[in-house]
Amino acid sequence: MKRKPYVVFIMSLILALIVSACDNAGNSDSSSKKGNDREIVVGLVSEPDSVDIHRTSSTGEANIPLYDTLLKLDNDGNIVPNLITDYELIGDGKEVIFNLKEDAVFHSGKPVNAEAIKLSFERLISSSPFSTNAGEVESIEVLSEYSFKIKWKDQFAPFFINATTPFLAPLDVSVLDAKGEGFEKNPSGSGPLKLVKINRGDSLVYEPYKDFWDGQEPGFDSVKFRFIPDEETRILEFKKGNVDVLLDVPYQYIEDLEKDSEVTIKRVQSDTLSYLGWNNKLPIFQDVKVRQAIALAIDRDSIIDNTLKGEAQAVFGPLPKTVFGYSEKIETMAREKYTRNTEAAKKLLSEAGWSETNKDGVVMKDGEEFSVDLWVDDDPANQRAAQVIQNQLMEIGLKITISVKESATIIEQTPKGAHEMLLWSFGWPDADVLNFLLFGKDKSKRLHYENEKIYSLLEKGAIEMDQEARLMLYEKAQEMLVEESPFVPLYVKENVTAIRNFDSFEIHPINNSIEWTSVKVSE
Amino acid sequence: MSSYLFKRFTTMIITIVGVSVLVFMIIHLIPGNPVSHILGDYATEESIKELEMRLGLDRPILVQYFSYMFHAIQGDLGTSFITGYTVVEEILNRIPITAQLALYSIIFGSIIGILIGVIAAVKKNTILDQLAMLLALVGISAPGFWIALFLILLFSYQLSIFPISGYSGFYSLILPSITLGLGTAGSIARMTRSSMLDVIKQDYIRTAKAKGAGLFRLVFMHSLQNAIIPVVTLIGMQFGYLMAGAVVTETVFALPGLGSLIVSAISTRDIPTVQGLLLFMAAMIIIVNFVVDLLYTKLDPRIQYE
The string of DSSP letters for chain B reads: -HHHHHHHHHHHHHHHHHHHHHHHHHHHHSS--HHHHHHGGG--HHHHHHHHHHHTTTS-HHHHHHHHHHHHHTT---B-TTT--BHHHHHHHHHHHHHHHHHHHHHHHHHHHHHHHHHHHHTTTSHHHHHHHHHHHHHHHS-HHHHHHHHIIIIIIIS--S-SSS--SGGGGHHHHHHHHHHHHHHHHHHHHHHHHHHHTSHHHHHHHHTT--HHIIIIIIIHHHHHHHHHHHHHHHHHHHHHHHHHHHHHTT--SHHHHHHHHHHTT-HHHHHHHHHHHHHHHHHHHHHHHHHHHHH-TT----
The reported pLDDT for the residue numbered A28 is 44
Of the partner residues A17, A32, A445, the one whose CB lies closest to the CB of residue B165: A32
What is the structure's pLDDT at A24?
43
Domain ranges of chain B: 2-70, 87-299
Range from A80-94, A113-127, A129-143, B257-271 carrying the lowest mean pLDDT:
B257-271
pLDDT of residue A32: 46
Residue A11 pLDDT? 57
Asked if residues A490 and A276 have their Cβ atoms less than 8 Å apart, the reply is yes
Probe site for chain B from A4, A8, A9 (most B CB atoms < 10 A) = A9
Q: Which of A424, A509, A439 is nearest to A474 (CA)?
A: A439
In a domain, residue A15? The reply is: no
In this predicted structure, what is the pLDDT of residue A31?
45
What pLDDT is stored for residue A171 in this prediction? 93
Pairwise CA distance, residues A294 & A490, whole Å: 12
pLDDT for the residue numbered A222: 95
Q: Is the pLDDT of residue B292 over 60?
A: yes
Q: What pLDDT was estimated at residue A3?
A: 47
Are A236 and B84 a contacting pair at CB < 8 A?
no
Tell which phi-psi region holds residue A41, choosing left (phi > 0), alpha (psi between -120 and 50) or beta. beta
SS3 A198: strand
A138 with A220, same domain?
Answer: no
CA–CA dist A357, B146 (Å, integer):
46
- Yes or no, beta carbons of B83 and A184 under 8 Å apart: yes
pLDDT for position A34: 55
Out of A32, A132, A182, closest to residue B44 by CB: A132
Q: Is residue A120 domain-shared with residue A223, that is, in the same domain? A: no
- Residue A201: which of B36, B149, B260 has the nearest Cβ? B260
pLDDT given for residue A206 in this prediction: 96
> Is residue A181 within 8 angstroms of chain B, CB to CB?
yes
Instruction: Work out the mean pLDDT of chain A and round it to a whole number.
Output: 89
A480 and A440 fall within a common domain: yes
Domain final residue pick, A140, A175, A210: A175
Q: Do B36 and A412 touch (CB under 8 A)?
A: yes
Q: Are residues A139 and A280 in the same domain?
A: no
Q: What is the pLDDT of residues B169-214, one digit of tens each?
A: 899 999 999 999 998 999 999 999 999 999 888 888 888 888 888 8
Give CA–CA dist A41/A44, Å, rounded. Answer: 10
Count of structural domains within chain A = 3
Find residues 14-43 of chain A whose CB sits inside 8 Å of chain B: 16-17, 20-21, 23-33
Is residue A6 one of the residues assigned to a domain? no
The reply to whether residue B254 touches residue A133, judged by beta carbons under 8 angstroms, is no
Q: Closest to B42 (Cβ–Cβ): which among A130, A202, A412? A: A130
Q: What is the pLDDT of residue B28?
A: 78
pLDDT-derived band at A29, boundaries 50, 70, 90: very low
Are residues A201 and B94, on separate chains, in Cβ contact within 8 Å? yes
At residue B63, what is the residue type? V
pLDDT in tens, A432-475: 888 876 665 555 578 888 888 998 999 899 999 998 999 999 99
Q: What are phi and psi of A264, to 5 degrees?
A: -110, 135
Q: Cβ of A412 and B31 within 8 Å?
A: yes
* Chain A stretch 432-461, residues whose beta carbon is closer than 8 A to a beta carbon of chain B: 436-437, 442-443, 445
Question: Across residues A13-28, what is the average pLDDT?
Answer: 48
**How would you label A402-441 residue by residue, b for 16+ Cβ within 10 Å and e otherwise?**
eeebbebbbbbbbbeeebbbbbbbbbbbbbbbbbbbbbbe
Interchain proximity B166–A226, CB inside 8 Å = yes
Max alpha carbon distance in chain B (Å)?
85
Please check whether residue A3 lies inside any domain of the structure: no
- Whichever domain contains A129, its CATH number is 3.90.76.10
Is 60 exceeded by the pLDDT of residue B256?
yes
Whether residues A265 and A316 share a domain: the answer is no
Instruction: Looking at the structure, tell me whether residues A362 and A261 fall in a common domain.
Output: no
Q: What is the per-residue pLDDT for A496?
A: 94
Final residue before a domain boundary, out of A175, A202, A226: A175
Q: Does domain B87-299 bear CATH number 1.10.3720.10? A: yes
Cross-chain residue pair B47–A200, CB shorter than 8 Å: no
A282-339 pLDDT tens trace: 999 999 999 999 999 999 999 999 999 999 999 999 999 989 999 999 999 999 999 9
Report pLDDT for A348.
96
A chain contacts of residue B225, beta-carbon cutoff 8 Å: 4-6
Please indicate, yes or no, if residue A28 is contained in any of the structural domains. Answer: no
Across the interface, whether the CB atoms of B167 and A236 are under 8 A apart is answered: no
CB B129, CB B120: distance < 8 Å: yes
Q: Assess whether pLDDT exceeds 90 at residue A354.
A: yes
Judged by CB atoms closer than 8 Å, whether chains meet at A6 and B225 is answered as yes
Which of A57, A183, A409 shows the shortest C-beta gap to B32?
A409
- Ranges A102-111, A140-149, A196-205, B227-236: which has the least confidence: B227-236
Residues 6+ apart with CB under 8 A from A237: A32, A43, A226, A228, A243, B164, B165
Given this model, what pLDDT does residue A86 score? 95
Residue A226 touches chain B, beta carbons under 8 Å: yes
CA distance B41 to chain A (A): 7
Measured between beta carbons, the chain B residues lying within 8 angstroms of A419 are none
CB contacts, 8 Å: A411 with chain B: 32, 36-37, 40-41
Task: For an interface test with B, give the residue of A30, A433, A434 to mutate (most B CBs within 10 A).
Answer: A30
How many Cβ atoms from other residues are within 10 Å of residue A278's Cβ?
25
**Domain end marker among A123, A150, A175:** A175
- What's residue A287's pLDDT? 95
Going by C-beta distance under 8 Å and a sequence separation of 6 or more, which residues neighbour residue B74? Answer: none
CA quadruple A239, A242, A244, A246: dihedral sign = negative
Task: Judge if ipTM > 0.90.
Answer: no
* Cβ contact, residue pair B268, A26, below 8 Å: no
Maximum mean pLDDT: which of A232-241, B140-149, B192-201: A232-241
- Name which residue leads in pLDDT, A426 or A289: A289
Q: Which of A353, A270, A364, A263 lies closest to A308 in space, CA to CA?
A: A270
Query: Hey, what's the torsion of the CAs at B154, B157, B158, B159, to 10 degrees?
Result: 80
- Give, for A365, the enclosing helix (H) or strand (E): strand A363-365
Mean pLDDT of B61-71: 87
**Within this chain, do residues A285 and A387 fall inside the same structural domain, yes or no?**
yes
State which residues form the domain around A253: 34-48+182-269+495-521
pLDDT of B43 > 70? The answer is no
**Contact assignment for A129 to B39 by CB distance below 8 Å:** yes
